[in-house]
């Protein structure tokens, strides 16, 4: 028996996107802190805000604007990359039903069936 | 005595289906006791954010548990953390607004038993200890094979991937 959190697909995507962006910033901060001793105070000074603002944004206690994501990335010496990918087909959906026509020949599947797509729009 | 799988088959635990993207592989597992399942169904959806942020508490939990299931590194530090050791074998999974109390039955296998709004825990002294005690009592009563939990406060013993970020 398994359990699914009851949340709309649209809000699931939104919540996970926000979480992933914040996580990427935190990991970069951890790496830069370890590598060159970068502090939140230094980042805040570069951006021109109070350290507590940065702290709340990274802790998830304050929303982060797209502009702030870019500012934080720049202060961390990183470049943000945003990409819109078509979703990949899940493994279970790759198992398509094989059918036959009246002559018992295999019927070709529509082009879209089971095709994994990699099209994307990317802004770097 | 029973394994985690046998407890699931008996309906005493429920495994979370984290609804990961097709290119992600589940490498950590989250289980719910009947009490937590009830709280996920009836309490979590109605919770609001103290911080008035876009991500609602249920969306915060959905992200955290998908992140957990994907095996992504978990923050474990004073300033930023997804994971916190409470006492004994009790651990908390944390979001900005929500705390989930439970234990690691095995490395990368977390069983959640209760949840509470962070602000409620701040407002009511002793409540955190009460939730932790509840977890301990539940584990003691659970018909799970020994060892029922991973003891201690070392994050490397309970999860396979974590990082420490405490820049001042």
pLDDT in tens, A33-84: 999 999 999 999 999 999 999 999 999 999 999 999 999 999 999 999 999 9
Are residues A15 and B56, on separate chains, in Cβ contact within 8 Å? yes
Are residues B64 and A19, on separate chains, in Cβ contact within 8 Å? yes
Residue A95, pLDDT above cutoff 90: no
Residues of A in CB contact (< 8 Å) with B are 1-7, 11-12, 14-16, 18-20, 23, 26-27, 29-30, 33, 37-41, 55-56, 58-63, 87-91, 93
Residue B75, pLDDT above cutoff 70: yes
Length in residues, chain A? 124
How far apart CA B138 and CA B5 sit, in angstroms, is 18
Decide which of A94 and B68 is more confident: B68
CB-CB contact of B82 with B68 (8 Å): yes
Chain-centre distance of CA A11, in angstroms? 13
List the single residue in B with minimal CA-CA distance to A62. Answer: B53
Task: Choose among B95, B167, B80: nearest CA to A44.
Answer: B167
Decide which of B60 and B165 is more confident: B60
State the nearest Cα–Cα gap between A71 and chain B, in angstroms: 18
Q: Which residues of chain B neighbour A30 with C-beta distances below 8 Å?
A: 75, 163-165, 167
Are residues B21 and A33, on separate chains, in Cβ contact within 8 Å? no
pLDDT class of B138 with cuts at 50, 70, 90: very high
Residue A114, pLDDT above cutoff 90: no
State the nearest Cα–Cα gap between B127 and chain A, in angstroms: 22
Residue A94, pLDDT score: 58
How far apart CA A95 and CA B82 sit, in angstroms, is 36
Residue A124, pLDDT score: 45
Are residues B60 and A15, on separate chains, in Cβ contact within 8 Å? yes
Q: Which residues of chain B neighbour A4 with C-beta distances below 8 Å?
A: 16-17, 19
CB-CB contact of A69 with A25 (8 Å): yes
Global pTM value = 0.87
Q: Which residues of chain A neighbour B63 with C-beta distances below 8 Å?
A: 15-16, 18-20
Are residues A60 and B59, on separate chains, in Cβ contact within 8 Å? no
Three-state SS at A14? helix
Q: Which helix (H) or strand (E) holds A31?
A: helix A9-36
List the single residue in A with minimal CA-CA distance to B50. Answer: A61
Tell me: ipTM over 0.90.
yes
State the nearest Cα–Cα gap between B40 and chain A, in angstroms: 7
Are residues A19 and B63, on separate chains, in Cβ contact within 8 Å? yes
How far apart CA B32 and CA B13 sit, in angstroms, is 6
How far apart CA B143 and CA B89 sit, in angstroms, is 17
């Amino acid at each position: 028996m398994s359990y699914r959190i009851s949340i709309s697909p649209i809000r699931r995507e939104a919540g996970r996107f926000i979480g992933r962006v914040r996580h990427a910033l935190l990991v970069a901060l951890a790496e830069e802190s370890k590598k060159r001793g970068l502090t939140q105070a230094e980042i805040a000074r570069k951006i021109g805000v109070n350290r507590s603002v940065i702290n709340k944004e990274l802790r998830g206690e304050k929303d982060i604007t797209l502009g702030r994501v870019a500012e934080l990335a720049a202060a961390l010496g990183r470049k943000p990359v945003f990409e819109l990918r078509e979703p990949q087909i899940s493994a279970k959906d790759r198992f398509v039903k094989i059918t036959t026509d009246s002559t018992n020949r295999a019927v070709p599947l529509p082009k879209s069936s089971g095709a994994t797509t990699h099209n994307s729009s990317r802004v770097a | 005595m029973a394994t985690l799988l046998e407890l699931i088959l008996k309906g005493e635990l429920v495994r979370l289906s984290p609804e990961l993207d097709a290119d992600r592989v589940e490498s950590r597992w989250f289980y719910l006791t009947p009490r937590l399942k009830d709280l996920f169904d009836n309490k979590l959806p109605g919770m609001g954010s103290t911080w008035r942020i876009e991500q609602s508490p249920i969306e915060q939990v959905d992200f955290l548990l998908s992140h957990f299931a994907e095996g992504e590194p978990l923050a474990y530090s004073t300033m930023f953390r997804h994971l916190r050791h409470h006492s004994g074998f009790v651990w908390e999974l944390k979001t900005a607004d929500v705390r989930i109390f439970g234990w690691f039955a095995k490395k990368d296998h977390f069983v959640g038993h209760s949840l509470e709004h962070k602000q409620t825990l701040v407002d009511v002294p002793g409540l955190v200890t009460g939730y932790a005690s509840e977890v301990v009592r539940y584990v003691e009563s659970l018909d799970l094979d020994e060892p029922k939990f991973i003891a201690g406060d070392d994050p490397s013993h309970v999860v396979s991937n974590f990082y420490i970020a405490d820049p001042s």
